[in-house]
């Protein structure tokens, strides 16, 4: 896409779901607590599958096209973009919150703007894999798949959960791909968690005003239930992988005995594909047991690779930041593929301290991949909850990515867990299938 020849304009909402551009103001972006001009080359057209949100009780910020002064857009409420998977936002939406502004639900709030008939966002496509492209989901095939697999596994509580809740209610892309018979199959297993993340998507305490986006699994599947539907998936799906640790559960490592028995049994039936776990990485000994059972890859989620910021957000029970580092090292010592699921927050992720800590983590753990994920959380609420009332110098997310890529050329960037064909084969494979 050609670089924009000028800054796009601020967007605002009239509170009735209508969005307009304000051509008296050039759009800016937010990083930490600061609003900044966005370099022209950082704007891309809002990708297909992206959405626009009105931000109630908030006024957008912009640069006056005549005076060059930063000021509020008084014409309506601020607007932000939810950018689709495979893209990483470089700046948050810039606004000022009024005293009555409600906490925003658990979505990402990337800057959004308008120019010459189109919406723009400051973002990069970080992943070529097309598994969550919204245009790739055929509703008819999904419903056929749900019918077929519910009949094939009539007593399997997990397949029933994936069908009724994940696929047909939450429209989870991973569950939809499972019922189409391709790529990554989700395997939730844990009703409990040993962390208390501020922005947990499967459990929000009653005193909080925002809902969790999914309900947490309320039963413990058996190894037999897991094996029954994952083995056929690994044997028949293109680029197959099964992933423990999903948004609709707590922490899978709390179910390590069940998962280890399932992995052992899966591998007795098929060598195909990759077996992955998405986890908070809290139990290194459990990770060791899963690697011995045949786990191929691990993805550890984190908002920061600095202990004090990590623990302020995760509020861990009976584990510490150092445990997640140890889990990455152990998985690597078994030759496993290791990723971090890195919640990107402009102004925090690209601070000089975070950059230095990330370099150290990559070196200490021989990390294989960073999944640069948009942080689905209200920016003011997050910074307030972790006690960050001012943010210092930051490198810029794009600049930080370039520095890490230059120093660690073998480290992969992406958004999704790679199939074994990428892990063991040609990582830059063609995805036009
Ligand atoms: S680790 Fe996951 S399930 Fe546990 S509190 Fe955090 S987001 Fe929620």
Residue 198 Cβ inside 6 Å of ligand 1? The answer reads no
**Domain boundaries of the chain, sorted by first residue:** 9-125, 139-423
Residue 251 Cβ inside 6 Å of ligand 1? The answer reads yes
Which of 194, 201, 251 to mutate to test ligand 1, by most ligand atoms within 8 A of the CB atom? 251
CA of 217 to the centre of ligand 1 (A): 12
Q: What are the tens digits of pLDDT across the range 54-97?
A: 999 999 999 999 999 999 999 999 999 999 999 999 999 999 99
Residue 250 Cβ inside 6 Å of ligand 1? The answer reads yes
CA of 197 to the centre of ligand 1 (A): 5
CA of 200 to the centre of ligand 1 (A): 5
Nearest-CA residue for ligand 1 atom 7 is 200
**What is the model's pTM?**
0.96
- Reported as half-sphere exposure (CB side, CA atoms, 13 A), residue 212 has a value of 19
The C-alpha torsion from 180 through 185 and 188 to 189, rounded to 10°, is: 120
Q: How confident is the model at residue 431 (pLDDT cuts 50, 70, 90)?
A: low
Q: How confident is the model at residue 1 (pLDDT cuts 50, 70, 90)?
A: low
Residues contacting residue 363 through CB under 8 Å, at least 6 positions apart:
none
Residue 195 Cβ inside 6 Å of ligand 1? The answer reads yes
Residue 302 Cβ inside 6 Å of ligand 1? The answer reads no
Q: What is the mean pLDDT of the chain?
A: 96
For 376: left if phi > 0, alpha if psi spans -120 to 50, otherwise beta; the answer is beta
Nearest-CA residue for ligand 1 atom 8 is 200
The answer to whether 112 and 52 are in contact (CB under 8 A) is yes
Q: How confident is the model at residue 426 (pLDDT cuts 50, 70, 90)?
A: confident
Residue 202 Cβ inside 6 Å of ligand 1? The answer reads yes
At residue 433, does pLDDT exceed 50? no
Q: How confident is the model at residue 258 (pLDDT cuts 50, 70, 90)?
A: very high
Question: What would the CATH number be for the domain defined by 139-423?
Answer: 3.20.20.70
Average pLDDT score over residue span 98-118: 97
Residues contacting residue 364 through CB under 8 Å, at least 6 positions apart:
325, 329
At residue 306, does pLDDT exceed 80? yes
Residue 430's pLDDT is 61
At residue 410, does pLDDT exceed 80? yes
Q: How confident is the model at residue 428 (pLDDT cuts 50, 70, 90)?
A: confident
Which of 106, 194, 203 to mutate to test ligand 1, by most ligand atoms within 8 A of the CB atom? 203
* Residue 248 phi, psi dihedral angles, 5° rounding: -100, 25
At residue 347, does pLDDT exceed 80? yes
% residues pLDDT > 70 (the chain):
99
Average pLDDT score over residue span 394-399: 98
Average pLDDT score over residue span 246-254: 97
CB-based burial, 265-274: b 16+ in 10 Å, e otherwise: bbbeeeebbb
At residue 392, does pLDDT exceed 90? no
Which of 198, 202, 281, 324 to mutate to test ligand 1, by most ligand atoms within 8 A of the CB atom? 202
CB atoms within 10 A of CB 249: 27
Residue 317 Cβ inside 6 Å of ligand 1? The answer reads no
Q: What are the tens digits of pLDDT across the range 147-174?
A: 999 999 999 999 999 999 999 999 999 9
Nearest-CA residue for ligand 1 atom 3 is 250
Residue 425's pLDDT is 79
């Amino acid at each position: 896409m050609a670089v924009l020849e000028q800054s796009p304009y601020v967007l605002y909402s009239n509170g009735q779901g209508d969005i307009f551009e304000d051509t008296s103001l050039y759009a800016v972006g937010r990083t930490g607590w600061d609003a900044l001009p966005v370099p022209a080359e950082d704007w891309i057209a809002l990708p297909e599958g992206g959405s626009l949100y009105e931000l109630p009780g908030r006024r957008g910020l912009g640069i006056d096209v005549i005076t060059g002064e930063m000021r509020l857009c008084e014409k309506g409420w601020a607007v932000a973009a939810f950018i689709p998977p495979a893209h990483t936002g470089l700046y948050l939406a810039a606004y000022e919150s009024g005293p009555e502004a409600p906490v925003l639900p658990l979505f990402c709030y990337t800057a959004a703007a308008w120019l010459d008939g189109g919406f723009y966002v400051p973002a990069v496509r970080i992943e070529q894999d097309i598994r969550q492209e919204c245009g790739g989901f055929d509703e008819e095939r999904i419903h056929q798949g749900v019918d077929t697999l519910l009949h094939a596994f009539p007593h399997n509580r997990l397949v029933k959960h994936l069908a009724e809740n994940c696929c047909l209610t939450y429209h989870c892309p991973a569950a939809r791909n499972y019922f189409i018979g391709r790529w990554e199959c989700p395997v939730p297993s844990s009703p409990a968690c040993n962390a208390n993340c501020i922005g947990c998507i499967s459990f929000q305490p009653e005193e909080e005003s925002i809902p969790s986006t999914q309900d947490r699994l309320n039963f413990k599947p058996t190894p037999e239930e897991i094996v029954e539907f994952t083995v056929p998936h690994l044997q028949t799906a293109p680029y197959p992988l099964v992933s423990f640790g999903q948004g609709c559960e707590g922490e899978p490592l709390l179910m390590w005995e069940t998962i280890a028995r399932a992995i052992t049994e899966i591998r007795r039936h098929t060598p195909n594909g990759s077996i992955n776990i998405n986890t908070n990485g809290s139990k290194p000994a459990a990770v060791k047991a899963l690697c011995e059972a045949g786990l191929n890859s691990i993805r550890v989620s984190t908002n920061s690779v600095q202990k004090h910021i990590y623990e302020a957000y995760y509020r861990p029970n009976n584990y510490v930041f150092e445990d997640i580092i140890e889990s990455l090292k152990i998985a690597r010592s078994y030759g496993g593929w290791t990723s971090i699921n890195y919640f990107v927050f402009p102004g925090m992720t690209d601070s000089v301290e975070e950059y230095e800590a990330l370099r150290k983590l990559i070196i200490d753990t021989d990390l294989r991949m960073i999944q640069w994920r948009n942080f689905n959380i209200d920016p003011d609420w997050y910074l307030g909850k972790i006690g960050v009332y001012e943010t210092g110098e930051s490198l810029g997310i794009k600049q930080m990515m370039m520095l890490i890529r230059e120093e660690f050329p073998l480290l992969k960037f992406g958004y999704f867990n790679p199939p074994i064909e990428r892990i063991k084969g040609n990582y830059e494979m063609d995805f036009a299938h």
